[in-house]
Structure 1
């Protein structure tokens, strides 16, 4: 996971935990002494459902952050999530791309590991030729070099 992706996840996690705290504070303590009307009960159910969804997303992000910490830096000999890869496409153009996780917000220099090009690059080494599908048809590229951008800003 890139440093930017980690920061984004940590920021989202802080926001989710703050929202969860606010929602949890609005739920009744479960005593049931004041049943309220059906609208009150429906509102209570909606807030409980929101709390469940927030808990699920918090657990998902916690898991991703733990997995990234355990995985360590990517292998610099083979393409992996977090690698920077310079590729030469069939038309002769060169591009330096970062391979990001599926949850990372892609930009012009990021290719996600679950995209057609990303899947083709995973595990490849400098000098390897990869084939992948594009909306216009089959594509190919040569891995010219690769490195690690973990910790880069």
Structure 2
């Protein structure tokens, strides 16, 4: 798990670097466009300002994650769970704290702890059926096994 954590931290750090570069370009563009102009220019400045605020918010969120500020409400990250769906198929899922921890190619076998399924699994036990909301309505799965991190 340490290797996956390292890769996640690197991806988060790279996203922060990219966002900072984008923010700097936006600020430079706004500074260059400042001055006399028409009302179209001021609407562009407002839009640019809104984008800078959104970038700042995302940077703060990522820095908080890197600092260990992840507050988990659902099932603990690192949990592995085997579920049987209504059609009888079984699938093993890994639980992660944040979407950025989902590895490429593992999107279908990863659940975030605060997703509807992650929240439904919080107090579940082997043999129990849990229900959770999906865009298509309520879904139901049977917990075949659940291995929480030690």
Same fold by TM (over 0.5)?
yes
User: Is the CA contact 1:89–1:141 (under 8 Å) kept in the aligned structure 2?
Assistant: yes
Q: Look up the SS of the partner of 2:83 in the other structure.
A: strand
Query: 2:27 maps to what in 1?
Result: 24
Query: 1:95 maps to what in 2?
Result: 91
Matches within 5 A, 1:55-70: 55-66=56-67, 69=68
Q: Structure 1 residues 123, 102: CA separation in 2 closer, same or farther (over 3 Å shift)?
A: farther
Larger Rg: 1
Q: Look up the SS of the partner of 1:108 in the other structure.
A: helix
Matches within 5 A, 1:44-63: 44-63=45-64
Q: Give the superposition deviation at 1:90.
A: 5.8
Note the alpha carbon deviations across 1:95-129, whole angstroms, 9 max, x for none. 2101133534571101232333221212445x352
Note the alpha carbon deviations across 1:15-61, whole angstroms, 9 max, x for none. 111111212223339xxxx7311244443333222222211111122
Q: Look up the SS of the partner of 1:28 in the other structure.
A: helix
Q: Would you tell me which structure has more helix in proportion to its own residues?
A: 2
**5+ long unaligned stretches in structure 2:** none
Task: Provide the TM-score with structure 2 as the length reference.
Answer: 0.66
Q: State the alpha-carbon separation in 2 of the partners of residues 83 and 8 from structure 1.
A: 22
Note the alpha carbon deviations across 1:55-105, whole angstroms, 9 max, x for none. 111112222332xx256xx9xxxx412322233446553321011335345
Q: State the alpha-carbon separation in 1 of the partners of residues 31 and 16 from structure 2.
A: 25
Q: Look up the SS of the partner of 1:9 in the other structure.
A: helix
**5+ long unaligned stretches in structure 1:** 149-153
Task: Provide the TM-score with structure 1 as the length reference.
Answer: 0.65
User: Is the CA contact 1:88–1:144 (under 8 Å) kept in the aligned structure 2?
Assistant: no
Aligned length: 136
Q: State the alpha-carbon separation in 2 of the partners of residues 101 and 147 from structure 1.
A: 13
Are 1:12 and 2:8 an aligned pair? no
Q: Look up the SS of the partner of 2:107 in the other structure.
A: coil
Query: 1:108 maps to what in 2?
Result: 108
Structure scoring higher RCO (CA < 8 A, sep ≥ 6) equals 1
